[in-house]
Amino acid sequence: LASIDAHPAPSIVDVSGVKIGGGHLGMIAGPCSVEEPERMVRIAEKVAQSGANLFRGGAFKPRTSPYAFQGLGEEGLRILKDVGDKFGMPVVTEVTDPRLVELVAQYADMLQVGARNMQNFALLTEVGKSNRPVLLKRGMSATINDLLMCAEYILSQGNPNVVLCERGIKSFDPATRNLFDVAAVPQVRTLSHLPIIVDPSHATGRPELIPACAMAGIAAGADGVHIEVHDCPEVAKSDGPQALLPEQYDELAKQMKGLAELM
């Protein structure tokens, strides 16, 4: 079902009115974690003004350490949805557990399956039964074929609305958080009709590298860009060191829109 043979025309995924794919650029922005409402409002207002069309934030966080901040849970979902509504942006948030799909789908316009859960087949099956579009992130040690097979798990349950995301893979070099595999974008394009976006925030972990990688993703044909933005990265509950400031996002958003128009 994910194969280009099954469906030669590029798929367009509609997230509560925001289209991704087929020439429509998904601009997903927001903090790594959902934080207090006032901060979420400040960030959302800024990224919306810059042209972001989807607002993100994690309420259930898959952290490396069980002692790290795990997210605000349902309260976080409520905050995210309220803030998204306030600025007319559909919201994207991660679901980490098959038992939470129904709850998260009540608040989220798009369900994110994170890199760590890409091959959680019980979760894929459950989001496949949901009527919400899914953002499926590539696992850090997954091949492109693995990614497409995981999309197949979702599609085969009857949910056709899957957007893939290249977010960097493991490498031997600690210079960047992950290794941004920009070639995955045109490679997926040869194999699948599904939209593919890039996430230069998790791919690089370094704000100074994000603009170049975001632009490279668009130049390679990506259908969207997922970027973490925080108004005070020093106090962010997670992934502060890789966050762009709203002003930096604004500058980059202008460049991304300009390049996308040329594509």
**Binding-site ranges for ligand PEP (CB under 6 A):** 32, 58, 62, 114-116, 137, 167, 202
Of residues 3 through 42, those in contact with Mn ion by CB under 5 A are 32
Judged by beta carbon distances under 5 to 8 A according to partner kind, the member of ligand PEP, Mn ion, none in contact with residue 233 is: none
CB of 61 to Mn ion, least distance (A): 8
CB of 239 to Mn ion, least distance (A): 4
**Between residues 10 and 177, which has the closer beta carbon with respect to ligand PEP?**
177
Of residues 58 through 97, those in contact with Mn ion by CB under 5 A are none
Reduce the secondary structure of the chain to three states and give it as a string. Answer: CCECCCCCCCCCEEECCEEEECCECEEEEECCECCCHHHHHHHHHHHHHHCCCEEECECCCCCCCCCCCCCCCHHHHHHHHHHHHHCCCCEEEECCCHHHHHHHHHHCCEEEECHHHCCCHHHHHHHHHCCCCEEEECCCCCCHHHHHHHHHHHHCCCCCCEEEEECCECCCCCCCCCECCCCHHHHHHHHECCCEEECHHHHHCCHHHHHHHHHHHHHCCCCEEEEEECCCHHHCCCCHHHCECHHHHHHHHHHHHHHHHHC
Could you tell me which stretch among 11-19, 40-48, 158-166, 231-239 binds Mn ion (CB under 5 A)?
A: 231-239
CB of 172 to ligand PEP, least distance (A): 19
CB of 68 to Mn ion, least distance (A): 12
List interacting residues with Mn ion (CB under 5 A). Answer: 32, 239
